[in-house]
Chain A
Amino acid sequence: MRKLLPALLTVLVAAFPALAQQGTLEIAVDQAPVGLDPHLVTAFSSFVVIGQIYDGLIEFDADLKIGPALATSWEVSEGGLVYDFELREDVVFHDGSEMAAVDVVYSFERIMAEETGSPQASRFSQVESVEATGEYAVRFTLAAPFAPFLGNLSNLSVVPRHVVEAEGDLQRVAVGTGPFMLEEVVPDTYVRLVANPDYYRAGQPQLAALRYNVVPEASTRAAGLRTGSYHLLPDVDPATAQTIQGAPGVELLEVQDLAYTLLGMNVEREPFDDPAVRRAINLAIDREEIVTAVYFGNAVPGGPLSPGLDQWALDTDEFACYDHDPEAARALLADAGYEDGFELEILTFGTIKVVSDLAQVLQAQLTEVGIDTTVNVAEFGTFVQDWRNSDFQAFVSLNGGNADPDGYLYRTFHSTGATNVYQYDDGTVDTLLDRGRTTADDAARFATYAELQRILACQGPVAHIAYATLFSGVRENVDGFRQMPTRGMRYLRETGLD
């Protein structure tokens, strides 16, 4: 019977042409996907494509609320250790085979297996066991309560075992359960996906196909949107946004970004080993000026959490060191023994304009309080290596955010955090971070993260600068596309062309 279902659906779609998908949405992206295996890739350019091909058990919407995907419902046990998921029973992979609980278990095990080398494994280190408790039921058991677990689980792409075993990995073939199926990859030219006729959400996708055109130059993408060669530019930088604004037939969408710019300080080295100096740096920074000069006004100053996470983030009014005060900064530096300032080298890179511009403005602002600042614009690969090895005095960069506060704060500021390149080690902060991830109650969690934000904003190893407005450009005949703060593109399945 279940084998009949896809066939039946195909017949239904064919019988009701009004339901059939129409049109190809031309998307212009800056980079070709670097591999397609959802468990192996890390490049954003890959996720933009893969997100349409694979599903997770649950997913985030544009308001960062978790909703059902392959799972219809879930229950969390008292104490928060056992998560039971009920799965949809009408889902098939793109090759026609059924999706069931064993596929979820297999996908999880594949991520965790050492030989896979999946970069996502560390997200699930709290999981003790996974089992299929029925043909369409899965149980995750955690070793300790872990509040961000559901959020992390939204990243678990369910893949079919037999395809992985036949192909070795999923870098070149793609067989998922998502609204679109891989049709063609022409390297450095385009990736074409076509509608999945057996997709489990009725009436979706609305488009017949998606074409991701690879166009490295921002001005070329903008020209293509103007002429209508492209319908959608998913990520438009502020400078290009200005040139598109007001062009006939083009609409700019905007949303608050979770990613932030920062000045990172190495607390192992002088003078940033002294919290008073880090505070002075924050006082010396004029964030309003940066928003105007670097972002053309399209950003807001922010603390450790994005203003986009409005249920978690504190207002910057709560951070005393955010009032620009060069005099106070000088006084603090003098008290700390740096009355003549000090020499500072800021490491940065040139491939993101906002970042290199920010480094220059910071140089000017810090020089004003007597810090003799130079900027070292390194090639990106060099930057990453020095960053990873904590081989810097200070750096300026742009970091991605996370929909759950733990997702960003723990790995960055915990003394054992995977990206704590600042060598920051603070007992109170560690305790609060551990408490935050094991607390289930939202109000209690909020209190913990509020306290953390107050500590980290002024004394932490990172001076958080600003959160940009994220722009995307669409043609006016595109319907139903919504931009997400996570830069995810799940709304493509609800998008249509007039």
Chain B
Amino acid sequence: MTGYIVRRLADLVFVLFGVSVLVFLMIRLIPGDAVDILLGANTDITPERVAALRERLGLDLPIHRQYLDWFAGVLRGDLGVSVWTGRPVTEEIVSRLPVTLEITFLALAFALIVSFPLGILAARARGGLGDVAVRLVSIVGLTLPSFWVGVLMLYAASIWLPAWPTIGYVPFGEDPVGNLSRMVLPVLAVSFPMIAGLTRILRSSLLEVLSLDYIRTARSKGVSQRRVFSKHALRNAMIPVITVIGVQLGYLLSGVVVIEQVFAVPGLGRLAIGAINERNYPLVQGVILVVTAVFVFINLLVDLTYTWIDPRVEVA
């Protein structure tokens, strides 16, 4: 087991190296560098000044030199400094990561709490009114884009509940109530698609398990309906659900990027979008590297969960 984890973490290093090269090239393939973007279409700046500015930012060096300089820094744990503010990239990311993780995990928790009863309800009442209602709602949830839902909820709240603070972010440590009340709408908005997805997979997975022989055996032994569900069916229906949770967490992260924009929440997504728009190369590279690491790490956790749920799955 320990050997497995160590091997997976070693893989992580290679993934990160590959991603770092890709990101480094991709962000530079987009036309326009930080200087072009900042000057925009509207300044009376001379070409000599542009060159001077580019030199200040080290953008005049050949691309392999830029990469080697940056990579040498990464090996020392130094992700460089943000082009315009001069703040260390690591510092920028560390200040934003908790915000994004808070939304992500609150949304995940909320999605789990809601989708389990819904999925079980739909499976038990298969073909009945409850089942049809749940399936209908989950289709809607999958179809509506979360940013649109977010804007709509925000607008409604501004009219009917004007006193409710819904925009922006305050750290939990400073003001727990303010923090959570601002989390409600973004968390709702990003969790809808996940609730819909999880409910559907849980329902179909449960139905599949329920039709298996051992369930029939349990039932014929006289085991109560409740026990059949909780003890026999649910746990065995979990493997596909866990896989979907792993995949959905990726979508959730990307949903959070957009929703941070809508609710003016200063998370990693805002940082990344701003950095890409202003071609803040070191910052883009740093954020992508960290998000990749988080993603790979989540996948590892998902894989480890399989063995916990189903001891027959071996990882060695």
Contacts and interface: CB of A to CB of B under 8 A. Distances in A.
Partners in one complex: yes
Contact of A381 (B36, B49, B165): B36
A381 B262 CA distance: 23
B271 A381 contact: no
Contact of A418 (B46, B52, B158, B264): B46
Interface stretch (A126-134, A208-216, A300-308): A208-216
A381 B278 CA distance: 9
Interface string A12-53: 000000000000000000011011000001110000000000
A353 to B, nearest CB: 15
A384 B41 contact: yes
Nearest to A378: B31
B36 A385 contact: yes
Given A117-B49, A122-B49, A216 B42 contact: no
Which of A226, A227, A399, A417 gathers the greatest number of chain B CB atoms within 10 Å?
A: A227
B169 A380 contact: no
A171 B85 contact: yes
A344 B154 CA distance: 42
A122 B158 CA distance: 47
A166 interface: no
Contacts of B85: 35, 171-172, 187
Interface residues of B, number: 51
A381 B32 contact: yes
A189 interface: yes
Contacts of A186: 266
A379 B32 CA distance: 10
Contacts of B39: 42, 119, 384
Nearest to B280: A34
A226 B163 CA distance: 11
Interface in B52-80: 52-53, 55-56
Contacts of B56: 117
A411 interface: yes
A121 B266 CA distance: 35
Contacts of B168: 189, 213, 215, 229
A411 B41 CA distance: 12
A382 interface: yes
A246 interface: no
A42 B40 contact: yes
Contact of B44 (A122, A215, A383, A386): A122
A224 B167 contact: yes
A188 B262 contact: no
A494 to B, nearest CB: 27
Contacts of A419: 41-44
Interface in B263-285: 263-264, 266, 270-271, 274, 277-279
B264 A411 contact: no
Contacts of A227: 158, 162-163
B231 to A, nearest CB: 48
A498 interface: no
A223 B41 contact: no
B142 interface: no
A444 B154 CA distance: 56
B284 to A, nearest CB: 13
B44 A226 contact: no
B282 to A, nearest CB: 15
B271 A188 contact: yes
Nearest to A185: B85
B43 A42 contact: yes
Which of A43, A381, A399, A417 gathers the greatest number of chain B CB atoms within 10 Å?
A: A381
B32 A214 contact: no
Nearest to B82: A187
A261 B48 CA distance: 28
B151 A217 contact: yes
A462 to B, nearest CB: 13
A379 B45 CA distance: 22
B144 interface: no
Contact of A188 (B30, B38, B270): B270
B95 interface: yes
A374 interface: no
A388 B158 contact: no
A223 B166 CA distance: 10
Contact of A114 (B44, B45, B52, B95): B52
A117 B159 CA distance: 49
A83 interface: no
B84 A171 contact: yes
A41 B169 CA distance: 27
Contacts of A118: 49
B32 A384 contact: yes
B236 to A, nearest CB: 44
A223 B30 contact: no
A397 interface: yes
B204 interface: no
Which of B44, B84, B262, B270 gathers the greatest number of chain A CB atoms within 10 Å?
A: B44
Given A35-B85, A224-B167, A122 B46 contact: yes
Nearest to A248: B162
A317 interface: no
B37 A384 contact: yes
B154 A223 contact: yes
A486 B262 CA distance: 28
A121 B92 CA distance: 32
Contact of A216 (B37, B55, B155, B270): B270
Nearest to A219: B151
Nearest to A188: B266
Contacts of A213: 168, 264
A32 B266 CA distance: 11
Nearest to B170: A189
A224 B159 CA distance: 10
Contact of A382 (B31, B42, B46): B31
Nearest to A227: B162
**Nearest 4 Cβ contacts at the A-B interface:** A381-B32, A117-B52, A223-B158, A188-B266
20 contacts: A32-B274, A34-B84, A42-B39, A115-B52, A118-B49, A119-B43, A121-B49, A122-B44, A122-B46, A171-B84, A172-B86, A189-B168, A189-B266, A214-B266, A217-B261, A223-B167, A228-B162, A384-B40, A418-B43, A419-B44
Interface of A: 31-32, 34-35, 41-43, 114-115, 117-119, 121-123, 171-172, 186-189, 213-217, 219-220, 223-224, 226-229, 379-388, 397, 399-400, 411, 417-419
Interface of B: 30-32, 36-46, 48-49, 52-53, 55-56, 84-87, 92, 95-96, 151, 154-155, 157-159, 162-163, 165-169, 261-264, 266, 270-271, 274, 277-279
